[in-house]
């Protein structure tokens, strides 16, 4: 249920885009502004932002997605919960054995 509630929030999350410009032997990562898209990541963009000639391969990529963060947080919470259950399970079983509250029914007379 929680996943369905979070899905619209995750889908509308702002994702940061970057343009990787490979010029000769060096590569430079330039963050794109919010109003720019991956289609703006081209050779002219790389030449303008790195002021180097010979830029050959512009590549657009995204990172720091909120969706990825939520997946990691869910993984950490679920793993921590399972570890907590595994650590407390012997103590809970011992407590149940020492305090049996077994009720028997009365025979019908």
**What is the reported pLDDT for 45?**
84
Range 21-50 average pLDDT: 84
Range 52-67 average pLDDT: 79
The model's confidence at residue 3, banded by pLDDT at 50, 70 and 90, is: low
User: What does the alpha-carbon distance between residue 64 and residue 15 come to, in Å, rounded to a whole number?
Assistant: 7
Distance of CA 108 to the CA centre of its chain: 61
Taking only the tens place, the pLDDT of each residue in 66-78 is 788 899 999 999 9
User: What does the alpha-carbon distance between residue 10 and residue 77 come to, in Å, rounded to a whole number?
Assistant: 18
Taking only the tens place, the pLDDT of each residue in 81-95 is 999 999 999 998 888
Q: Are 66 and 79 in contact (CB under 8 A)?
A: no
**What is the reported pLDDT for 63?**
79
**What is the reported pLDDT for 88?**
96
| Coil, helix or strand at residue 42 | coil
Q: Is the pLDDT of residue 14 over 70?
A: no
Question: Which residue's structure tokens are 């030449």?
Answer: 47
The residue with greater pLDDT, 75 or 13, is: 75
């Amino acid at each position: 249920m929680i996943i369905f509630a979070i899905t619209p929030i995750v889908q509308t999350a702002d994702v940061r885009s970057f343009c990787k410009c490979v010029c000769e032997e060096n590569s430079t990562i330039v963050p794109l502004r919010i109003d720019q898209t991956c289609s703006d990541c081209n050779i002219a963009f790389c030449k303008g932002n790195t002021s180097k000639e010979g830029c050959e391969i512009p590549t657009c990529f995204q990172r720091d997605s909120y969706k990825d963060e939520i997946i990691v947080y869910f993984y950490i919470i679920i793993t921590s919960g399972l570890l907590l259950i595994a650590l407390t399970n012997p103590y809970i079983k011992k407590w149940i054995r020492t305090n049996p509250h077994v009720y028997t029914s009365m025979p019908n007379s």
